[in-house]
Amino acid sequence: MNKFFVLVGLFITLCLKAQILYEYPKGQLFYEGGRDAFNKEIKEVAGKIDLKPCEKTEALFMRFVVYPDNKVKYVADPDVKAVENNKCLKDKVLKAITEMKNWNVAEVNGTKTPAMFCALFYDDLLFNKEMSENDFSKPVYIHKEKESDIMKFRENFAKCFDNRGYTPNGTYSFIINFDIDTNGEAGFFYIENQSNLEKFNEMVVDCASNTKKSYWKPAYYKGVPIKQVFKMPIKFNED
């Protein structure tokens, strides 16, 4: 049986220093057969080891790292309140994961590399209960105390983003990844194709962060706040 270790680094910069991929490379699967096979097997494991439903509705977004030696480590979540409120579910998922064996290790240029995967867990998933799209609600972007959408977020990001003094060589594009946690806070930022200019990267994060005028209401599952991951592509030209 694999043992669990808590990954101490909470920030993605620490993960990068440890050469941990934010996600699996395109076309590579974290589990043999993909996410459907993972979901199917974790249900089977839940029955095999006789896990029981939690006394209340719980839902928890969790990250793990699969290492080249096939060990799986839980990534400690800075959203401490969410973890405490969903401890029953977290403990069950950790027990189930230790029984699962069909992990795929990520590869970069033929070299096995540790990489993260993430998933939202809840009892209905573990025990194969019927679910409805109405059970889920997406994060809501609030601007000047009015509910808005992702397009308003992009608009505000563009207004904030000042690329003067940063002249790209032709077209420059990047993708910013971030979480909206159960408090509605934007965090766990990761920039794909990031600039080698630290001030530029800091501006990207600052413009995607909450402000007094613009912030988020979190997503929910059956009334339980849950974390949501966003991936936003940005592109601009030298002119």
CA 180, distance to chain mean position in Å, is: 9
Decide: helix, strand or coil at residue 131: coil
- Look up residue 34 and give its two tokens: 């993909």
Question: Could you give the residue ranges of the DSSP H alpha helices within the chain?
Answer: 12-17, 34-48, 80-85, 87-98, 123-126, 150-160, 198-208
pTM as predicted:
0.87
Residue 105's region, left for phi above 0, alpha for psi from -120 to 50, else beta, is beta
pLDDT digits (tens, 9 = 90+) for 92-131: 999 999 999 999 999 999 999 999 999 999 999 999 887 7
Residue percentage of the chain with pLDDT more than 70: 87
- Euclidean distance between CA atoms 8 and 77, whole angstroms: 9
Give dist(CA 61, CA 70) in Å, integer.
22
pLDDT at residue 24 in the model: 97
Cα 11 to chain center, whole Å?
A: 12
Kind and range of the H or E run holding 219: strand 219-221
What pLDDT was estimated at residue 161? Answer: 81
Inter-residue contact 45 to 99 (CB < 8 Å): yes
Q: How many Cα atoms occupy the beta-carbon half-sphere of 125 within 13 Å? A: 21
Phi/psi for 236 (5° steps) reads -150, 160
Tokens of 55: 């006394």
**Which letter, b or e, does each residue of 209-237 get, where b requires 16 or more Cβ atoms within 10 Å of its Cβ?**
eeeeebbbbbbbbbebbbbbeeeeebeee
What tens digit of pLDDT does each residue of 23-81 get? Answer: 999 999 999 999 999 999 999 999 999 999 999 999 999 999 999 999 999 999 999 99
Of 153-167, 179-193, 223-237, minimum mean pLDDT range = 153-167
pLDDT band at 212 (very low <50, low <70, confident <90, very high): very high
